[in-house]
Structure 1
Amino acid sequence: MKTAMSSQVIEGSGRGGSRVELVYSSLRGEIISGRYAPGTPLRTAALAKEHDVSLSVVRESLVRLAESGLAESNPNQGFRVVSISRADLLDLNGVRILLETEVLRRSIDTGDISWEAEVVSTHHVLDSIPVQGANGEASSAEWAEAHARFHDALGTGCGSPRLISMVRTMRDSAEIYRQLSGPRGQESGRDIRGEHRTIMELSTGRDSDGATAALAQHLQRTTDLLLSEVLTEDSV
């Protein structure tokens, strides 16, 4: 049940798209955290009641989710969380590696000391948080947020707002898949902390080739795990 304060915040946060932004942000977080599983219908009326906003606010928020690749709209069926498949994961991972290694390379080439400090500080926070969630999730919400901030920091020195925006969109889509791995990521023998530490050290050490190779391998390992243990040939 929503408190009076929370509903007041959404309805009274100002003019323009502020209510849409709040509902969009809330739904985005719930989708990428796994609260809404892939393919789950997103009922406009129910969401309007839950968030205590108008139907038009919910519809605009759902359109934004569709534009960012987190939801899909079907004629006469409304909106639902984006579906998943092996083919989509392979395509997504290839694009992510292409984009994220490019923004990292550019950041290493042009990023200043402030960029280095952001990479180090976000890694320090990430390294201090337990990976797996208390209920067997692939990660706790706190770790997932720190993880996103670290990966975001790697590319923010690239100097291209458009590239940064594209990378963030791809990362949101990938998070839906990563949450499906559950505890398997810890059972696969991976040293995820070590992978992040290596990426941080090579990046701040201005080793473009080493850092981008380590990042590509890091992203590929997660995809390989999902393909072999979650999205198997028989499951999708």
Structure 2
Amino acid sequence: MPNHRIIEIREHQDLMVSRATGITRTQRVYDDIRSAILLGTFKPGTPLRLAELAERFDVSMSVVREALTRLAEQHLVALAPRSGFRVVEISRQDLADLVDMRIEFEGMALVRSVERGDLAWQANVVSAHHVLEHTPFRAPGQPGTTDAWAEAHAAFHDALGAACGSPRLLAFTRMLRDSAELYRQISGRGPHTDRDVAEEHRRLLELAVARRADEAREALKEHFLLTARELDGLLD
């Protein structure tokens, strides 16, 4: 049977399974690749080849491509011209540089927002924190945080700096946070600590709405440094 006909049949099967079970093959492949990345089965920098993954998961390449595209949107996978998908690269040196940059620029955005933000900004910070606080942090048996929590976490940090008055600064802080996503997810693989991430976010909320700019910046700095410390021993 011609290869293109095999591909058509497999894609049709994927669609039928999706309709029959309500759980798409794309979601299954996404979950499996995501777990392999966060557990270290797929190391940073590992090429993620469509044909190999399609054979491994017994799905069409279009399903794999869709799953990898979603992972790229979550900043766990990178797509480079002519070289395809691969797990994003990480290192201790890159982490140190990234943390320094986030402390500097996200701290700047936070201070400016605390000083300039109006009542609408304050309400948005409170609302974003409420969503974050009530979003499940981890799914049973799954590594890293849930996608929903990651999105709520990003939205809360966005809200904190939203009134800084500089679209360029906001765009840069988002780019840095996106680059840090795999590090943040990997930090959850470390040994259990007494760290209370929810309390760290509550502290940031309280200091921001109380207009205590310098203390809020210090709390944000410690928040980033604690995540970096959790990565000790987890990076090669």
TM-score, normalised via structure 2 length: 0.70
Identity %: 44
1:196 matched to 2:204: no
**1:98, CA displacement in angstroms?**
0.9
Distance (Å, rounded) in 2 between the aligned partners of 1:35 and 1:162: 35
Distance (Å, rounded) in 2 between the aligned partners of 1:90 and 1:183: 19
Distance (Å, rounded) in 2 between the aligned partners of 1:34 and 1:158: 36
Query: Residue 126 of structure 1 aligns to which amino acid in structure 2?
Result: L
User: Counterpart of 2:98?
Assistant: 92
Which portions of structure 1, spanning 4 or more consecutive aligned residues, are displaced by more than 6 angstroms? 44-48
Which 10-residue stretch deviates more, 125-134 or 212-221?
125-134
1:230 matched to 2:229: no
Q: Is the 8 A contact 1:132 1:183 kept in 2?
A: no
Distance (Å, rounded) in 2 between the aligned partners of 1:34 and 1:157: 36
1:112 matched to 2:125: no
Q: Is the 8 A contact 2:50 2:65 kept in 1?
A: no
Unaligned runs of 5+ in 1: 7-25
- Shift of the 142–73 alpha-carbon distance from structure 1 to 2, 3 Å rule, reads closer
Higher alpha-carbon Rg:
2
Q: CA RMSD in A?
A: 3.4
> What secondary structure, in the 3-state scheme, does the structure 2 residue paired with 1:230 have?
coil
Which 10-residue stretch deviates more, 79-88 or 148-157?
79-88
- Which one of the candidate residues 115, 136, 141 is aligned to 2:147? 141
1:124 matched to 2:130: yes
The C-alpha deviation readout for 1:3-49, integer Å capped at 9, x for no partner, is 49x9xxxxxxxxxxxxxxxxxxx9xx99xx66655323244777972
- Shift of the 104–214 alpha-carbon distance from structure 1 to 2, 3 Å rule, reads same
Q: Is the 8 A contact 2:190 2:234 kept in 1?
A: no
Unaligned runs of 5+ in 2: 1-12, 19-26, 55-59
User: Counterpart of 2:108?
Assistant: 102
Distance (Å, rounded) in 2 between the aligned partners of 1:161 and 1:2: 42
Distance (Å, rounded) in 1 between the aligned partners of 2:134 and 2:179: 25
Distance (Å, rounded) in 1 between the aligned partners of 2:35 and 2:178: 11
- Which one of the candidate residues 166, 170, 181 is aligned to 1:175? 181
**1:2, CA displacement in angstroms?**
5.7
- Shift of the 122–34 alpha-carbon distance from structure 1 to 2, 3 Å rule, reads farther
TM-score, normalised via structure 1 length: 0.70
